[in-house]
Structure 1
């Protein structure tokens, strides 16, 4: 293809496609985004927040399999379309068992325990399963082997399900925080760079004040002011990330406003708002796109730090930082995978965003070939 016929965007896209790690990272992010959106489709545990657990099977190693007896419940609801996005609000009555026996009119099962000789036997009438029931149908319909691919956490919950549902928090914090930082940062950066003078001095004073405060301390202060919660954390992280965007936009606007097409726009009598938003900002977005990819990674790490401190997404909402907080003690207890699984997931996601950012930087660099 003749590159002389391509626009600047087309040339940048061609260069991005040649970056193997950038494309691979982008594919990984898109796949993880789809998994997060349809989390309850892929999650083995369909209950809301993947919160079903049993303490008798807590902290089991990956690949753990147990017989699971499902008891019929009057509160059990049929699967609705919304369940595929928010999970089922009513958890099924499931009991991990070692074995079971059926007599004429009753079922006796032995609850799961690590020491079979201490297993507790319980008996329930067969009428619980319905009028027309027999031993074969109970075994086929209500007793099944359940495998926990990544094992169970300290509360006996499926670790894989918590990991999948927890990806929603990390990806959502990236999108919301970056969106807030772009809106605030572009606004302040644009007016500072375009008007200059006292406006520029005030904006830069505000940027320097915020930048002088450690990010985590500032986020904690905003979180405490807004209150603990899901969306409060998103807003708090976004309000601490706009300063870098503002500085980049300010520099771009100060450079572009000296160009001839801006002078021509002023001569034609265009309003300042039209010149800024229709002519200057579209020509200054390349470095902003690059910095946004890096801010995605930063937002994920900040949220994880807040969750580790107990200020992030609150239980029972799973988050990778919260999972690490709950299980970091298990690293020295011989079960490091409980903390390493969310840690590795976070590492891969942050690395993917950084690789995409590097690829975008190379693709949008007009000096590179």
Structure 2
């Protein structure tokens, strides 16, 4: 007997989503960004915690800049597990020094510190005892001096911009997931209660929704952030507490129409509890527009966090954040080094656009009229 093709609504919606070129492309781009955010410290050239290795002598260098780097090993060896390095970076206590040239004389390693075009000689002498015993002069040069190429250049503190960008993806994804999760929990719960029970409960929740809706989002986020204090998690919670209103309004509207259906009346006649009716029958048939809103809220959360970091009340230094990177370097635009602000700006734009395109694709795929 030939296999019949499934015509379920979820299968049809998935097929329509796959046919949407920009939606599918955005989905794969977000999957790539998620992969990068998880393995950022493995992929980043600077895998120190927060990619915070500073080299002030090579600050604000253009993409593709290369320099010889002398690494002086530390006597303090810190043991770390693989997962600690994966999620929090390597606790690097080695000293890195950009140099122009080097030579070894007697028991000293004599080097000239980096200067533009090697115009200024700044000698520095380093005792060979600071390196592991038993190594010849050539082995020290081969093992502890290597050429570093900064693919995206360096920021104003001489940190690797590519590494900061890769690790900064974590902030954007974290704020998106946590803020959307909080907004969905609050929005779906309050919207479902208001729409299902109606009456005074509906009036009270709608009053709360309208009051929250009337306050400018950024102003409300700033107020909550200042109340909770500056910090990584405080920003996530603050953004989530301001994004539930739209979810609640949509869920309430959907439930007002769904609860009039005959299968809801049948469920009540069978003696099912209100909780079971809401969770098993009402919400599953109202969830499609919520998915679309969640994608849009993900994009909004990224923009809000970037704005807060730009204002200095988002993720605090030295944690890399795309918004904070723009704040640190927007003045460099008029100094001929616009890439320092443009690169993180393009990162924000591409991630936000991807979520918006996915939201549009989901809206089209879940539209039963088409």
SS at match of 1:110: strand
Q: Deviations over 1:80-111 (max 9, x none)?
A: 30212210123321110010111132210111
* Kept after mapping to 1: 8 A contact 2:76/2:93: no
Counterpart of 1:319 (choices 318, 321, 344) is: 321
Aligned to 2:21: 20
Q: Which range is displaced more, 107-116 or 351-360?
A: 107-116
Aligned to 2:253: 251
* Kept after mapping to 1: 8 A contact 2:183/2:243: yes
Counterpart of 1:191 (choices 169, 190, 193) is: 193
* Whole-angstrom distance in 2 between the partners of 1:5 and 1:101: 73
CA root-mean-square deviation: 1.4
Aligned to 2:212: 210
Q: Which range is displaced more, 130-139 or 254-263?
A: 130-139
* Kept after mapping to 2: 8 A contact 1:52/1:91: no
State the Cα distance separating 1:4 from its structure 2 match: 6.7
Q: TM-score, normalised by structure 2?
A: 0.97
Aligned to 2:307: 305
Structure 1: gaps of 5 or more residues: none
Aligned to 2:355: 353
Q: Which range is displaced more, 352-361 or 202-211?
A: 202-211
Q: Deviations over 1:120-154 (max 9, x none)?
A: 11112222223312222122101100000000000
Total equivalences in the alignment: 368
Q: Deviations over 1:296-325 (max 9, x none)?
A: 000000000000000100011110000000
* Kept after mapping to 1: 8 A contact 2:69/2:146: yes
Aligned to 1:66: 67
* Kept after mapping to 2: 8 A contact 1:148/1:160: yes
* Whole-angstrom distance in 1 between the partners of 2:322 and 2:4: 44
* Whole-angstrom distance in 1 between the partners of 2:117 and 2:14: 61
Q: Deviations over 1:311-357 (max 9, x none)?
A: 10001111000000000000001000000000000000000000000
Q: TM-score, normalised by structure 1?
A: 0.97
Kindly tell me: are residues 270 and 222 of structure 1, through their superposed partners in 2, closer, same or farther at Cα, counting changes over 3 Å?
same
State the Cα distance separating 1:2 from its structure 2 match: 9.1
Kindly tell me: are residues 365 and 77 of structure 1, through their superposed partners in 2, closer, same or farther at Cα, counting changes over 3 Å?
same
SS at match of 2:116: coil
Please state if 1:165 is matched with 2:142.
no
Q: Deviations over 1:1-60 (max 9, x none)?
A: 999732111110011011011000000000000100111011000100000011001000
